[in-house]
Structure formats: C-alpha cells, structure tokens
C-alpha cells in the first residue's frame, strides 16, 4: 500500500458492505478516499471508525451510478479537489432477488440491475481511465464482481444479476485488451466474492 499513500481513490457503493469496509481501509492506509453513494450520510458515519489522522482523508460524494450526470459531477469534483483519480473501486451493485427474469412487470428491476452493475461500472471506468490518461498515471481500476459472474446458480430467483456479473467479467477482459492496445500501464482487476 505504500505506493498508494497520498494518492486518490474513488469507491462506488461506499455506504455499506464491501464498499464501506474498503473506504475505511483505504483512508486508514493513507489514501485520499472519495466514497460515492446514494446514501451519502452513511459514508459520513464511517468517519467515526477511522483514526484521527484518517478522518480528513475520507470524503463523501452523493452519486447514483445509474445517472451519468451524477458520475460526471463526482469525477469533476475529485479532479477539482485533488487533480484526478489514481484508483477506482467499482463496488456499486444491485441484486434484486425474489423477482424472476420471466415475472410480469419486472422491467424496472431489470433496468436497475443492468444500469447499476454494468452501465454504471463502464461509465465510472471510462471516467477513471480518462483522468489517469490525462495525467499519465499508472493507476488501477478494480471491479467487484461475483462468483455469479462465472457460473449461474440453479436455485433462487436472481433475475438478471448473474447476466450483469457475466458482463462485468467480459468488460474486465475487454478493458484489459484496450489498456494494452493503448500502451498504458493502467491495470484492471476483477474480484469475485462468493
């Protein structure tokens, strides 16, 4: 982590779960950390779990990754405050269980999952890459995927969640090739918790 001390991280979906743990860990490790979330007050509450030294390194930013204008505004804010992003953790995700792909009237659920898990991830990755490229930063983009991005469970109603996570797997490989072809040293990683 020493390489990243004083560098800037953005974590999406920072208000709970993996995102909340991640922003605390990065701020405590010395990174200037921006936690993006719809429920920004929950990110602010995380400061009470930080060391006195780390509190000033955690910044909360209201951002719904299903809205491009929110994403653009968040990345602009980070650029204005700190020059740009060095590490992006794409953690925001939705699993709207108990709704089948074949259930009537499920259109909004399908859109919410795809817009959060796939489109939001792609747009945040694009903005992070552009920031890194403009500043010639050898940064890192991390996608929090799922084991369901590699195999589909045969139980339960998972709607399009597995399809969205398979898309994350494919997007990671697509980005890896694009980064290589662009001649950058920016890395992209997919992590698949189970």
Q: What is the pLDDT of residue 134?
A: 97
- The model's pLDDT over 70-115, given as tens digits with 9 standing for 90+, comes to 999 999 999 999 999 999 999 999 998 778 888 999 999 999 999 9
| CA 6/CA 31 separation, integer angstroms | 5
CB-based contact 28:2 (threshold 8 Å): no
Mean pLDDT over 21-48 rounds to: 97
* pLDDT exceeds 90 at position 177: yes
Q: What is the pLDDT of residue 158?
A: 85
* pLDDT exceeds 90 at position 120: yes
Burial class (CB in 10 A: 0-12, 13-18, 19+), 175: buried
Using DSSP, state whether 35 is helix, strand or coil.
Answer: strand
- The model's pLDDT over 178-194, given as tens digits with 9 standing for 90+, comes to 999 999 999 999 999 98
Fold adopted by 2-191:
Rossmann fold (3.40.50)
Mean pLDDT over 126-145 rounds to: 98
For 118-138, letters b (16+ CB in 10 Å) and e give: bbbbbbbbebbbebbeeeebe
Mean pLDDT over 5-12 rounds to: 97
Among candidates 41, 27, 18, which has minimal Cα distance to 92? Answer: 18
In this structure, the dihedral spanned by the alpha carbons of residues 57, 60, 61 and 66, taken in order and rounded to 10 degrees, is: 120
* Cβ neighbours, 10 Å, residue 10: 31
* pLDDT exceeds 80 at position 130: yes
* pLDDT exceeds 90 at position 154: no
Beta-ladder partners of 194: none
> What rounded mean pLDDT belongs to the chain?
95
Q: At 153, is the pLDDT very low, low, confident or very high (cuts 50, 70, 90)?
A: confident
| CA 151/CA 162 separation, integer angstroms | 8
Q: What is the pLDDT of residue 96?
A: 82
Burial class (CB in 10 A: 0-12, 13-18, 19+), 177: exposed
Q: CA triplet 105, 116, 155: central angle to 5 degrees?
A: 60
Domain ranges of the chain: 2-191
Active site residues: 161
Q: What is the pLDDT of residue 122?
A: 98
* pLDDT exceeds 90 at position 129: yes
Q: What is the pLDDT of residue 99?
A: 82
């Amino acid at each position: 982590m020493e390489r990243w001390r004083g560098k800037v991280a953005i974590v999406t979906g920072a208000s709970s779960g993996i995102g909340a743990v991640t922003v605390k860990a990065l701020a405590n490790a010395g990174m200037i950390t921006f936690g993006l979330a719809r429920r920004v007050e929950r990110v602010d509450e995380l400061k009470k779990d930080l060391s006195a030294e780390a509190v000033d390194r955690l910044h909360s930013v209201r951002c719904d990754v299903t809205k491009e204008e929110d994403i653009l505004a968040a990345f602009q804010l980070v650029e204005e405050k700190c020059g740009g992003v060095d590490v992006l953790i794409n953690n925001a995700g939705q699993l709207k269980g108990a709704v089948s792909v074949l259930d009537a009237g499920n259109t909004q659920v399908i859109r919410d999952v795809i817009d959060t898990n796939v489109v939001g991830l792609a747009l945040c990755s694009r903005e992070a890459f552009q920031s890194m490229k403009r500043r010639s930063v050898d940064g890192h983009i991390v996608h929090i995927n799922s084991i369901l991005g590699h195999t589909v469970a045969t139980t339960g109603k998972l709607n399009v969640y597995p399809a969205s996570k398979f898309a994350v797997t494919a997007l990671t490989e697509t980005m890896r090739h694009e980064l290589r072809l662009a001649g950058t040293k920016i890395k992209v990683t997919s992590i698949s918790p189970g």
